[in-house]
Amino acid sequence: MDNLTKEQRSKAMKAIRSKDTTAEVLLRQKIWQLGYRYRKNYKKLKGKPDIVFTKQKVVVFIDGEFWHGYNWENVKPNIKTNSEYWIKKIENNMSRDAVVNNILQKDNWVVLRFWARYVKKHTDECVNFIVKQLEKKYDRTSSSK
């Protein structure tokens, strides 16, 4: 059973952000400081990626653990309140993530996905990984000219 009242739960759920989360802002600031420019929440691409490097065709998604099914097989049995709804919703999110990845990859985009908690704890590691992907893509595009 939920240990919050209906009003408390409603207030908590309304506070959840879909964009400009702490992890997204942290990652974007570090990338910007390195001189890389990007689009955020790019509506022209399927899935509206959190960060998009259009020239290099690299997209970055920062996924919230609950909403995107982190450690899903262990978490799933612990959902007690309105479990039928939440399990269906999260599994649909996971399925949609896979479809979005496939669509973008077929169009030659590099798709990077990070868990929000990982970005918060290992920001520099995530930034370094993104930069390596950007440099790989840049090398390919500049050598083909």
**How high is the pLDDT of residue 16?**
61
| φ, ψ dihedrals at 30, nearest 5° | -65, -40
21-129 topology per CATH: Endonuclease; Chain A (3.40.960)
Digit-coded pLDDT (tens) for 73-85: 999 999 888 889 9
- pLDDT > 80? residue 139: no
Q: What is the pLDDT of residues 108-127, one digit of tens each?
A: 999 999 999 999 999 999 99
Q: Where do we find the tokens 């020239």?
A: 55
The DSSP element (H or E) to which 29 belongs, if any, is helix 22-33
Average pLDDT of the chain, as a whole number: 88
For the chain, the farthest-separated pair of C-alpha atoms sits apart, in whole angstroms, at 61
* Angle, in degrees to the nearest 10, between helices 123-143 and 22-33: 50
pLDDT of residue 53: 97
At 1 the pLDDT is: 54
Q: Which has the higher per-residue pLDDT, 51 or 6?
A: 51
Does the pLDDT at position 144 exceed 90? no
